[in-house]
């Protein structure tokens, strides 16, 4: 059984347990601020409930459980309503950036049919407050035709690709992503050729990697991406999502989510380059997400947020906590232990 | 030149010498403390070009794709194969290389890839500390041990604690480190002799090492985290160093098993390792356990009842010992003084028995001891805690062994000369087997005058006294060499018990080594009597002093350390004492296999 089949098996078992999801409700709608070309701007994020990521339906990535948000029977009409209602309800008076995610690929016609896509694009085109559209897609759907379709309608566009790492072996062995760096490069070239902004997600600490290797992997990935004229790099710290291989290991004490210190270590090192470097951790500070000792988590995550908005590495200047030493030792000896230290506590026990 | 050579053994545990160009280590040891170890890290993201040859590095740990043990087995196997497959591509890495092999919950020991590791002098086993259940850990470790060569040093990283070290060494692990000590120190966990404890929960420092001397807990707690980790790490390392020395000392004195039984107690998880090992891996232990030991055998716990030496004794007296010398069997109690025949009790009983009828001693944990074998190891060498009562387990064991013993022999009458409880057991067994029996000390102490009189009366028809020296010879030949139907009528015995010398046609054939109760053969004796299962076929050379393992072509299956063996090659024949088991003789490329006593050129 390959990793591929294992992911499939876990997925199948979890899907049996899942209840039907409401077709008319989007998965997630939220307002926030993001950084766009040296200014802060409002941002509306809508995650549409589709039939789910094609790859996840076939097998899926080791850390991704978004497939369980999907609805089997959802139709174009339902999805369009989800979209329209979200914009109406949350659209601000001021100009804003619109992120439309599907937990899959916006350009995948199995998720968003050509017809539905045209309708959504048409709606956006007629909404002047929307300054920019950000969508996500796997590289295989980023084709000349798809891009031309979009561009003829929308003038400001950003496409985000979940590359996760530039290391093909890690992407295959630890993430089960089912595309290569070369696939990404081709898509990236097309995107740049059409003057579309390119955002790349990197995954911090996929399963099987030690904290140290994980940090090194992100750093060497950023080094590779720097050469490509990528506009934005977003680091996604791995979190524990249900019905995934990562969760299976986490439940057996064989996967530990990354430390926030690992993230700040990377952000500091790559703060002053000509791409925007951001991170918006999911489940930050929680047991199932990136975390430190528990005492400093909120403070340090706040700095990460600050950094993502202002790209100013001095925000990290005064972040210190006793647990940073624990992290340092952990990074140093984890590989030497040659096992997953199950009771490595991040917090210091209380003194008498 | 680099090698690993086993110098001393005690069961599967060993003291060895690990040598590479620049360094020589005595194992078991903490490899990170005594050498410079470089871990080349994960194969994911590994860049071969970055490996520079660093002359200060003693050992390189080769990179792997390591996954935790509960990863689906097929996925696990793919990565294991890739990791081992990659070893070939790392030939460029200079120096002493240690490949890492990953184990998971089901044993990965049958993988063909493992053969590739046979040429390495040391192998690292990953994931051991993640294996929670005793069957997972024992199955995978023992499986690997059986697959790898005996002269491969086994390294288990990130696992050593003061409580688990003894059993890990007993399993045949040679190399450890202080990484777990450091990881525990980072978590403010302080090693004690019985495990580890959170520094905050400790009231007194149960240690007198250089870190803890003249300090109290609060002084440690009030240090900055950096200093505290450093201190606790040093203490933790000291605790494992002390344990390593304790283990080596026991191993050298052949008391490792006793130490293991002592050290596992504080932790049920570790205790279950030994239980699992004893119950399920008896053949692994048996194949590596010496037939005699220097030290006494203390059967202090119920676990001792399952020891190899004890089981082996019971099996041999039942299976190897042939028919009875007399039609009568006198069943007698055991004594604290060993050998039994020297004890006061048995001297009194002899007044009634007067050397007539076979004599059997009932005891725990051996079950039964035929009196002619009372000096053989471990009958002369064991001790148990005595409180004047037998435990249920001991009772069952005695009854079971007695039954097995009596079924094999052909006695007509059993004279039961033991106290109440043992009398009941013996009567029950005799009745069950349809043997005629009489209790000669019923309601009395076996040493009581009346008991002795009754015993003498019951034996009045028996004229013939047993020829004890000849009987000892015969039983030893059976017990030690597994010989049957031996014609020993013309054997002559000289000397005073127990310093017997045995002759056949005026040729001396053997001496009784009174310390272990084993026969030591002359060349003539070996040539005449040592059977195939104790013979070693050697290469074409004349050994001086010792036969080394690479000189062994084939070794009889039954050979265990300290066995008497006959070796023969094209140009020489001789007798000597085995230093290794047959398995190790055949699989090792280093070390002394046989210490030669007599050798003759052909």
Contact B601, B542 (CB under 8 A): yes
- The CATH number fitting domain B298-458, selected from 2.40.50.140, 3.40.50.10630, 3.40.190.10, 3.40.50.2300: 3.40.50.10630
DSSP string, A88-113: HHH--SS-EEEEEE-SS-TT-TTTS-
- pTM of the full predicted structure? 0.92
Distance CA(B212)–CA(B207), nearest Å, equals 6
CATH topology of domain A3-337: TIM Barrel (3.20.20)
In the predicted model, what is the mean pLDDT of residues A24-41? 86
Instruction: Determine which helix (DSSP H) or strand (DSSP E) holds A60, and give its type and residue range.
Output: none
Distance CA(B573)–CA(B596), nearest Å, equals 10
CATH classification (class only), B486-601 = mainly beta
Asked whether the beta carbons of residue A337 and residue B198 sit closer than 8 angstroms, the reply is no
Interface membership of B126 toward A (CB under 8 Å): yes
The crossing angle, in degrees rounded to 10, of helices A114-125 and A76-90 is 20
Which of B71, B76, B200 would you mutate first to test chain A, the one with the most A CBs within 10 A?
B71
Cα→Cα distances B150→B5, B7, B257, B580, B582, Å: 9, 12, 20, 10, 11
Asked whether the beta carbons of residue A338 and residue B66 sit closer than 8 angstroms, the reply is yes
* 3 state SS for A108-160: CCCCCCHHHHHHHHHHHHCCCCEEEEEEECCHHHCCHHHHHHHHCCCCCEEEE
Contact B577, B290 (CB under 8 A): no
Asked whether the beta carbons of residue B45 and residue A174 sit closer than 8 angstroms, the reply is no
- Give the chain B residue whose CA is nearest to the CA of A247: B71
pLDDT over threshold 90, residue A9: yes
Asked whether the beta carbons of residue B71 and residue A249 sit closer than 8 angstroms, the reply is yes
Name the 3-class secondary structure at B123.
strand
Residues in CB range of B259: below 8 A, 6 or more apart? B166, B246, B247, B250
Least CB-CB distance to B186: which of A210, A216, A326?
Answer: A326
Contact B179, B55 (CB under 8 A): no
Asked whether the beta carbons of residue A335 and residue B128 sit closer than 8 angstroms, the reply is no
Q: At B124, list the tokens.
A: 């690292």
The crossing angle, in degrees rounded to 10, of helices B225-252 and B179-186 is 150
pLDDT over threshold 60, residue A53: yes
Residues of chain A found within 8 Å of residue B177, distances taken between Cβ atoms: 336
- Give the chain A residue whose CA is nearest to the CA of B69: A254
Specify the DSSP class assigned to residue B359: E
The C-alpha angle with vertex A305 and arms to A301 and A309, in degrees rounded to 5, equals 165
Distance CA(B498)–CA(A191), nearest Å, equals 96
The pLDDT of residue B383 is 83
Asked whether the beta carbons of residue B69 and residue A254 sit closer than 8 angstroms, the reply is yes
Task: Count CB-CB contacts under 10 A for residue A114.
Answer: 10
Cα→Cα distances A316→A69, A263, A279, A305, B256, Å: 35, 11, 14, 11, 55
The CB-side HSE value for B499 (13 A sphere, CA atoms) comes to: 2
Bridge partner list, B575: B566, B598
Asked whether the beta carbons of residue B187 and residue A343 sit closer than 8 angstroms, the reply is yes
Contact B24, B18 (CB under 8 A): yes
The pLDDT of residue B108 is 53
The residue with tokens 């000369």 is B417
Asked whether the beta carbons of residue A217 and residue B198 sit closer than 8 angstroms, the reply is no
Residues of chain B found within 8 Å of residue A174, distances taken between Cβ atoms: 44
Distance CA(B431)–CA(A303), nearest Å, equals 87
Q: Name residues of chain B where pLDDT drops below 70.
A: 53, 92, 105-111, 132
Distance CA(B457)–CA(B466), nearest Å, equals 18
Q: At B271, list the tokens.
A: 């205790």
Domain edges within chain A? 3-337
Residues of chain A found within 8 Å of residue B74, distances taken between Cβ atoms: 1-2, 5-6
Which of A208, A210, A338 would you mutate first to test chain B, the one with the most B CBs within 10 A?
A338
Asked whether the beta carbons of residue B225 and residue A348 sit closer than 8 angstroms, the reply is yes
Which of B253, B265, B212, B205 minimizes the C-alpha distance to B234? B212
Asked whether the beta carbons of residue A337 and residue B179 sit closer than 8 angstroms, the reply is yes
Asked whether the beta carbons of residue A173 and residue B65 sit closer than 8 angstroms, the reply is yes
The crossing angle, in degrees rounded to 10, of helices B392-408 and B308-319 is 30
The pLDDT of residue A352 is 38
Question: What percent of chain A shows pLDDT beyond 70?
Answer: 97
Least CB-CB distance to A329: which of B44, B182, B217?
Answer: B182
Distance from CA of A212 to the nearest CA of B (A): 9
Contact A238, A296 (CB under 8 A): no
Distance CA(B425)–CA(B402), nearest Å, equals 9
Residues of chain B found within 8 Å of residue A339, distances taken between Cβ atoms: 68, 126-130, 157-159
Report CA dihedral (B441, B447, B453, B454) to the nearest 10 degrees. 10
Residues 72-111 of B with CB under 8 A from A: 72-75, 78-79, 100
Scanning B520-581, the segments in alpha helix (DSSP H) are 523-529
Specify the DSSP class assigned to residue A350: P
Residues of chain B found within 8 Å of residue A248, distances taken between Cβ atoms: 70
Which of B309, B304, B449 minimizes the C-alpha distance to B377? B309
Interface membership of B53 toward A (CB under 8 Å): no
Interface membership of B124 toward A (CB under 8 Å): yes
Number of residues assigned to chain B = 602
Residues in CB range of B301: below 8 A, 6 or more apart? B261
| pLDDT tens sequence across A277-314 | 999 999 999 999 999 999 999 999 999 999 999 888 89
The pLDDT of residue A34 is 86
- Give the chain A residue whose CA is nearest to the CA of B225: A322
Report CA dihedral (B298, B302, B308, B309) to the nearest 10 degrees. 30
Cα→Cα distances A142→A146, A148, A235, B518, Å: 6, 10, 21, 83
* Separation of CA B509 from chain center: 29
The residue with tokens 């690292």 is B124
pLDDT over threshold 70, residue A83: yes
Which of B102, B158, B228 would you mutate first to test chain A, the one with the most A CBs within 10 A?
B158
Contact A212, A331 (CB under 8 A): yes
Taking the CA atoms of B24, B30, B31 and B32 in sequence, report the sign of the dihedral they define. Answer: negative
pLDDT over threshold 90, residue A342: no
Residues of chain A found within 8 Å of residue B199, distances taken between Cβ atoms: 349
Distance from CA of B42 to the nearest CA of A (A): 7
Distance CA(B185)–CA(B239), nearest Å, equals 12
Domain edges within chain B? 3-185+262-278, 298-458, 486-601
Contact B515, B499 (CB under 8 A): no
Contact B80, B126 (CB under 8 A): no
The pLDDT of residue B285 is 96
Name the 3-class secondary structure at B574.
strand
The residue with tokens 């549409």 is A48
Least CB-CB distance to A351: which of B39, B157, B200?
Answer: B200
ipTM of the complex: 0.90
Contact B574, B595 (CB under 8 A): no
The pLDDT of residue A351 is 45
Q: At B372, list the tokens.
A: 């002619």
Least CB-CB distance to A336: which of B39, B70, B229?
Answer: B39
Which of B140, B182, B143, B141 minimizes the C-alpha distance to B161? B182
Q: Domain spanning B3-185+262-278: which superfamily? A: Queuine tRNA-ribosyltransferase-like (3.20.20.105)
Which of B349, B345, B327 minimizes the C-alpha distance to B336? B345
| pLDDT tens sequence across B239-289 | 999 999 999 999 999 999 999 999 999 989 899 999 999 999 999 999 999
Task: Count CB-CB contacts under 10 A for residue B276.
Answer: 18
Burial of A148 (0-12, 13-18, 19+ CB in 10 A): exposed
Instruction: Determine which helix (DSSP H) or strand (DSSP E) holds A301, and give its type and residue range.
Output: helix A297-310
Which of A339, A343, A346, A349 would you mutate first to test chain B, the one with the most B CBs within 10 A?
A339
| pLDDT tens sequence across A136-183 | 999 999 999 988 878 777 778 999 999 999 999 999 999 999 999 999
Distance from CA of B133 to the nearest CA of A (A): 13
The pLDDT of residue B106 is 63
Question: Do B298-458 and B486-601 agree at the fold level?
Answer: no
Residues 494-553 of B with CB under 8 A from A: none
């Amino acid at each position: 059984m390959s990793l591929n089949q294992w992911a499939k098996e876990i997925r199948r078992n979890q899907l049996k347990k899942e209840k039907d999801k409401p077709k008319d409700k989007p998965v997630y709608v939220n307002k926030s601020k993001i950084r766009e070309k040296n200014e802060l701007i409002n941002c509306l994020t809508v995650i549409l409930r589709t039939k789910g990521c094609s790859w996840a339906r076939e097998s899926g990535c080791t850390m991704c459980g978004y497939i369980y948000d999907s609805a089997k029977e959802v139709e174009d009409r339902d999805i369009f309503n989800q979209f329209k209602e979200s914009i109406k309800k949350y659209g601000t008076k001021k100009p804003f950036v619109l992120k439309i995610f599907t937990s899959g690929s916006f350009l995948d016609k199995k998720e968003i049919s050509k017809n539905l896509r045209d309708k959504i694009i048409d709606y956006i085109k007629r909404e002047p407050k929307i300054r920019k559209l950000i969508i996500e897609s796997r590289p295989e759907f980023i084709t000349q035709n798809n891009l031309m379709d979009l561009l003829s309608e929308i003038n400001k566009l950003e496409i985000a690709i979940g590359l996760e790492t530039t290391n093909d072996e890690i992407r295959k062995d630890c993430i089960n992503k089912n595309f290569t760096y070369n696939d990404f490069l081709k898509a990236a070239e097309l995107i740049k050729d059409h003057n579309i902004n390119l955002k790349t997600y990197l995954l911090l600490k996929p399963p099987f990697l030690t904290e140290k290797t994980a940090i090194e992997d992100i750093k060497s990935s950023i080094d590779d991406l720097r050469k490509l004229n990528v506009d934005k790099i977003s680091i996604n710290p791995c979190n524990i999502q249900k019905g995934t291989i990562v969760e299976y290991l986490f439940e057996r004490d064989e996967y530990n989510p990354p430390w926030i210190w690992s993230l700040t270590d990377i952000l500091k090192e790559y703060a002053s380059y000509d791409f925007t470097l951001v991170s918006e951790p999911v489940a930050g500070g929680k047991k199932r997400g990136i975390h430190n000792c528990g005492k400093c988590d909120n403070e340090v995550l706040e700095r990460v947020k600050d950094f993502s908005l202002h790209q100013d590495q001095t925000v990290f200047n005064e972040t210190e906590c006793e647990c940073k030493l624990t992290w340092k030792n952990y990074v140093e000896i984890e590989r030497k232990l040659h096992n997953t230290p199950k009771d490595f506590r991040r917090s210091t026990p209380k003194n008498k | 030149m680099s090698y690993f050579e086993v110098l001393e053994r005690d069961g599967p545990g060993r003291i060895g010498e690990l040598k590479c160009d620049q360094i020589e280590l005595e194992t078991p040891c903490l490899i990170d403390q005594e050498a410079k170890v470089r871990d080349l890290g994960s194969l994911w993201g590994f860049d071969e070009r970055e490996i520079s040859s660093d002359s200060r590095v003693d050992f390189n740990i080769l990179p792997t794709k390591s996954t935790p043990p509960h990863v689906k087995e097929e996925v696990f196997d793919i990565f294991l194969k890739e990791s081992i497959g990659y070893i070939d591509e790392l030939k460029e890495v200079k120096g002493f290389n240690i490949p890492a092999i990953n184990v998971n919950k089901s044993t990965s020991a049958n993988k063909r890839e493992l053969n590739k590791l046979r040429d390495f002098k040391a192998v690292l086993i990953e994931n051991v500390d993640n294996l929670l259940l005793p069957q997972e850990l024992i199955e995978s470790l023992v499986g690997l041990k059986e697959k790898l060569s005996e002269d491969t040093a086994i390294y288990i990283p990130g696992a050593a604690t003061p409580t688990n070290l003894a059993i890990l060494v007993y399993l045949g692990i040679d190399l450890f480190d202080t990484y777990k000590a450091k990881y525990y120190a980072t978590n403010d966990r302080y090693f004690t002799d019985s495990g580890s404890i959170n520094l905050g929960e400790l009231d007194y420092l149960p240690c007198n090492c250089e870190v803890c001397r003249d300090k109290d807990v609060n002084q440690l707690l009030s240090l900055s985290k950096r200093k505290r980790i450093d201190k606790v790490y040093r203490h933790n390392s000291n605790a494992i160093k002390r344990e390593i020395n304790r283990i080596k000392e026991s191993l050298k004195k052949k008391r490792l098993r006793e130490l293991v039984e002592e050290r596992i107690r504080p932790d049920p998880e570790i205790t279950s390792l030994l239980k699992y090992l004893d119950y399920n891996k008896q053949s692994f232990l048996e194949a590596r356990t010496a037939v005699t030991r220097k030290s006494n055998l203390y059967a202090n716990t119920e676990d001792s009842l399952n020891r190899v030496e004890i089981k082996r004794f019971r099996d041999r007296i039942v299976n190897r010992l042939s028919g009875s010398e007399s039609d009568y069997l006198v069943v007698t109690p055991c004594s604290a003084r060993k050998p039994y025949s020297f004890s006061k009790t048995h001297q009194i009983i002899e007044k009634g028995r007067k050397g007539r009828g076979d004599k059997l001693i009932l005891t725990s944990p051996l079950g039964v001891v035929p009196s002619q074998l009372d000096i053989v190891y471990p009958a002369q060498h064991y001790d148990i805690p005595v409180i004047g009562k037998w435990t249920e387990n001991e009772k069952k064991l005695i009854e079971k062994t007695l039954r097995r013993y009596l079924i094999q022999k052909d006695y007509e009458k059993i004279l039961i000369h033991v106290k109440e409880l043992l009398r009941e057991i013996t009567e029950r067994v005799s009745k069950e087997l349809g043997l005629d029996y009489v209790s000669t000390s019923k309601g009395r102490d076996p040493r009581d005058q009346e008991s002795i009189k009754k015993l003498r009366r019951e034996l009045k028809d028996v004229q013939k006294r047993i020829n004890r020296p000849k009987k000892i010879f015969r039983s030893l030949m059976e017990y030690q060499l597994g010989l049957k139907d031996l014609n020993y009528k013309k054997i002559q015995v000289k000397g005073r018990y127990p310093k017997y010398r045995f002759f056949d046609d005026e040729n001396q054939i053997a001496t009784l080594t009174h310390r272990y109760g084993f026969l030591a053969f002359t060349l003539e004796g070996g040539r005449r009597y040592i059977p195939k299962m104790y013979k070693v076929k050697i290469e074409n050379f004349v050994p001086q002093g010792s036969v080394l393992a690479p000189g062994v072509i084939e070794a009889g299956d039954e050979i265990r350390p300290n066995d008497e063996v006959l070796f023969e090659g094209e140009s020489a024949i001789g007798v000597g004492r085995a230093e290794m088991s047959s398995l190790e003789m055949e699989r090792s490329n280093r070390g002394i296999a046989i210490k030669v006593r007599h050798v003759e050129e052909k």
